Amino acid sequence: MPLVAIAHREPEMSSTDRQFGATTAGAASRLTTWHQELFTAVGRWQWLHALNDAVSGVVQPLYDRYRDNLAVELMHGGRWAGHALHPALSDLPIGLWSSTVVLDLLGKDVPIAGSRMDPAGTLSAAGLLAAVATVATGVTDWTVSDGEDRRVGLFHGVLNVAGVALQGASLAARLAGHRGPARALSATSLTVTAAAGYVGGHLVQGRAVMVNRVAGSAGPNRWVRAVPETDLPDDTSTGVEVEGRQVLLHRSDGELHALDNTCSHAGGLLSRGDVTGCIVTCPLHGSRFDLRDGQIVRGPAHHPQPVLPTRVRNGWIEVRGSQPRSRREKT
């Protein structure tokens, strides 16, 4: 039986259809790029640059004056917590104010007998108290950020301050018996605080602020020559790159020490900092690490510096990172 080719013609699209298709594709693309556009715009806002300069001018000298105080290190979370305190504390006002809105929606904002406060207002007030600690730790962390991170951090802070102010106004309205405005202000406060939380999330997940910058450091998985032994006299240090990894080498009393040169806090190069005895100070925000074991002597860093084994062979200082896998493990 002869095969018959059937010509199939796509129905022609009208210009309206084409326009509709383009609009839909544009809207779909917008759904995936709006956040990039938002943070690009944030980077261009001149008012934020000016505010950043003004706030830094007030807060930074204060921080620098008290930076060696243990209370300041504790506000960062420091070596004791192993993490920043601010993100954990921020859950408190968000949780308490979310509960306030739920109680408002359920109509549980009726004053408790013998008091002007209602259950929703109690949670609102508790959230405001928690916000004091959250703001204090946030400002402390903000002082050890730089450049674009600092401006985005300030935007996060501005939104949070607006959220706190709205919640305060809501509580005042509640105590004055104006339930309608109190509910509206409380819901607006939660919305603004949630937006601030989104910006905070971008700082950590999008810009890697407050993450351990050496968490993924590994290698080289064999001994590799770093510098000739004669290039590192006693009581000197140097930074070298060994198979793509930044390494700080130091010799003290004839003993060699090697640490990851990238500061775990925010990526400063330790080889550009001062070394006193066996302690190196990061030039960016002043974290101090013990060269012998990489442990934190003083924050804001939360994570110690990885230590690399060293040896001298044929006039060269050699270093090694991760251990080679054993043959049995390979098979």
The contact set with ligand FES (CB under 6 A) reads 144, 263, 265-268, 282, 284-287, 300-301
CA angle 97, 103, 105 (to 5 degrees): 105
Comparing CB distances to ligand FES, the nearer of 257 and 265 is 265
- The CB-of-144 to ligand FES minimum distance in angstroms stands at 6
DSSP code of residue 206? I
Comparing CB distances to ligand FES, the nearer of 174 and 302 is 302
- The CB-of-74 to ligand FES minimum distance in angstroms stands at 16
DSSP code of residue 14? P
Write the DSSP string, 248-300: EEEEETTEEEEEESB-TTT--BGGGS-EETTEEE-TTT--EEETTT--EEESS
Nearest to 43 by CA among 211, 210, 265, 202: 202
- The CB-of-267 to ligand FES minimum distance in angstroms stands at 6
The sign of the torsion formed by the CA atoms of 152, 155, 159, 161 equals: positive
Write the DSSP string, 90-138: HHHHHHHHHHHHHHHHTT--PPPTTSS--HHHHHHHHHHHHHHHHHHHH
- The CB-of-263 to ligand FES minimum distance in angstroms stands at 3
- The CB-of-268 to ligand FES minimum distance in angstroms stands at 3
Rounded Cα distance, 269 and 171, in Å: 47
- The CB-of-59 to ligand FES minimum distance in angstroms stands at 16
Comparing CB distances to ligand FES, the nearer of 179 and 302 is 302
Comparing CB distances to ligand FES, the nearer of 37 and 293 is 293
- The CB-of-288 to ligand FES minimum distance in angstroms stands at 9
Rounded Cα distance, 184 and 244, in Å: 55
Comparing CB distances to ligand FES, the nearer of 220 and 273 is 273
Comparing CB distances to ligand FES, the nearer of 270 and 308 is 270
Separation of CA 299 from chain center: 15
Comparing CB distances to ligand FES, the nearer of 78 and 300 is 300
Comparing CB distances to ligand FES, the nearer of 101 and 284 is 284
Contact 302, 285 (CB under 8 A): no
Enumerate residues 6+ apart whose C-beta is below 8 A from 261. 239, 240, 246, 247, 248, 269, 270, 271
Rounded Cα distance, 232 and 259, in Å: 15
Comparing CB distances to ligand FES, the nearer of 97 and 289 is 289
Contact 128, 171 (CB under 8 A): yes
- The CB-of-145 to ligand FES minimum distance in angstroms stands at 9
- The CB-of-215 to ligand FES minimum distance in angstroms stands at 14
